């Protein structure tokens, strides 16, 4: 049996988690490619290359651990493939522990909070758990258990800030490989520039400020669990006001510029202080999206209003169709009516982008789905980009 990208099924009549074996070589190739590119650029303090067998072993152990319960609770675990000497101030156990489901389930409560990982490395030729750490090097292989049967392979971004980059998602018998090159998108430069920020490693390293802020704002919106909409509009252009109901109940005057100022100060501040300040500012804006209605920021990340109601612009027609894709290898674009993609929040976001074609709309659902809406000049329709897989 084999696992197809996206919808391939795995035979679970074996004691081993077959999806781990099938995906391991693809994951190894991803890390090998990006580590080699980073070394060629002269990057320092890079992670060790994970090999196929280690990847398979870690995924297999984590999967079976995810199906166990400890005191009635399903485990949430994060594993990092690195030796203790590749991190800073780790907690090192006096004796390494076996990398088996029972051990992982017992240890899981200690690493439930974000940013803590159990370190896994070789001890006498065997992968074992040596301790825990908060710091991992760039492109470190990290495996996270989200819920029973749901695992995410990810790594620290090269610039070190914010949410880790997802490589693959395994949910039971299904495997999704992130399409980091955007091959699932139409061949449309304007659309790619707007959406590849979520997937492309080249974008992370070359333009990390704006790219990371879109990703971090999306992750913050998804994390608060209330659902919400974020409209990103051109700076210095009030055309977006034609697509909202007036008066604006929660206008921000003067605009909140916390994110903008922090971007300007990055070069002059210590990294850890800047990172902490930016996270607070991101959550400040992300929190506004929990209020009913949409939050509006401009392309310079100045917050202009929140709780706004979207309406069809005067003289505009209702949006009748859009193309929807997911940045997963093997995904096939589908043209649907916007009402088939979600509720009122999704439909209003699609209408906003249909009317305001230089804008983006980011929509989080309470169930965890996340969609980025952008106008595709090549397709001449709204493009809905499902990015939940990238935000786990």
User: Which pair of structure tokens corresponds to residue 217?
Assistant: 């704002």
pLDDT in tens, 51-93: 999 999 999 999 999 999 887 788 999 999 999 999 999 999 9
Global pTM?
0.81
pLDDT in tens, 211-234: 467 888 988 999 898 999 999 999
Q: Residues 379, 383, 386, 387: what is their CA dihedral angle, to the nearest 10 degrees?
A: 90
E strand intervals along 99-197: 117-123, 126-133, 141-147, 150-155, 165-171, 174-177
Domains and CATH numbers, the chain: 18-177 (no CATH), 189-391 (3.40.1700.10)
- Distance spanning both ends of the chain, measured CA to CA: 27
pLDDT of residue 242: 96
pLDDT of residue 83: 97
H-type helices in 208-247, by residue range?
Answer: 208-224
User: Which pair of structure tokens corresponds to residue 19?
Assistant: 């999806």
The proportion of the chain whose per-residue pLDDT surpasses 70, expressed as a percent, equals 85
User: Please, which residues have CB within 8 angstroms of residue 158's CB and are 6 or more apart in sequence?
Assistant: 38, 43, 138, 139, 201, 204, 205, 208
pLDDT of residue 345: 92
pLDDT of residue 270: 66
Identify the DSSP state of 338.
Answer: G
pLDDT of residue 14: 41
pLDDT of residue 30: 93
pLDDT of residue 18: 92
Q: Residue 67: which of 101, 109, 99, 19 has the closest Cα? A: 101
pLDDT less than 70: residues of the chain: 1-15, 158-162, 182-212, 266-272
H-type helices in 225-257, by residue range?
Answer: none
């Amino acid at each position: 049996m084999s696992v197809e990208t996206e919808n391939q099924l795995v035979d679970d009549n074996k004691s081993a988690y077959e999806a781990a074996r099938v995906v391991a070589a693809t994951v190894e190739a991803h890390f090998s490619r990006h580590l080699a590119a980073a070394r060629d650029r002269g990057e320092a303090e890079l992670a060790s290359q994970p090999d196929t067998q280690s990847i398979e072993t870690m995924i297999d152990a984590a999967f079976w651990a995810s199906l166990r319960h400890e005191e009635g609770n399903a485990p949430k675990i994060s594993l990092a493939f690195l030796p203790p000497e590749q991190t800073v101030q780790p907690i090192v156990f006096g004796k390494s522990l076996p990398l088996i489901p029972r051990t992982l389930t017992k240890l899981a409560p200690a690493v439930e909070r974000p940013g803590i990982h159990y370190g896994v490395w070789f001890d006498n030729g065997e992968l074992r758990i040596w301790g825990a750490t908060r710091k991992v090097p760039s492109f470190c292989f990290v495996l996270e258990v989200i819920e029973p049967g749901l695992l995410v392979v990810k790594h620290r971004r090269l610039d070190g800030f914010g949410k880790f980059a997802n490589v693959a998602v395994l949910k039971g018998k299904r495997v999704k490989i992130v399409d980091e090159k955007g091959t699932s998108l139409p061949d449309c430069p304007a659309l790619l520039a707007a959406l590849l920020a979520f997937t492309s490693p080249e974008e992370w390293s070359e333009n990390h400020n704006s790219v990371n802020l879109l990703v971090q704002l999306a992750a913050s919106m998804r994390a608060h669990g209330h659902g919400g909409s974020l409209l990103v509009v051109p700076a210095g252009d009030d055309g977006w006001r034609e697509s909202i109901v007036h008066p604006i109940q929660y206008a921000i005057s003067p605009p909140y510029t916390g994110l903008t100022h922090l971007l300007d100060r990055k070069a002059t501040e210590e990294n850890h202080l800047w990172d902490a300040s930016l996270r607070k500012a991101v959550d400040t804006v992300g929190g506004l999206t929990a209020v009913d209605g949409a939050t509006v920021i401009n392309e310079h990340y100045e917050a202009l209003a929140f709780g706004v109601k979207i309406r069809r612009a005067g003289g505009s027609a209702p949006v009748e169709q859009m193309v929807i894709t997911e940045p997963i290898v093997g995904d096939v674009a589908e043209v649907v009516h916007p009402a088939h993609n979600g509720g009122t929040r999704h439909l209003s976001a699609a209408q906003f982008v249909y009317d305001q074609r230089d804008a983006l709309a980011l929509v989080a659902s309470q169930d965890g789905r996340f969609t980025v809406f952008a106008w595709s000049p090549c397709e001449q329709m709204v493009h809905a980009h499902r990015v939940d897989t990238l935000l786990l």
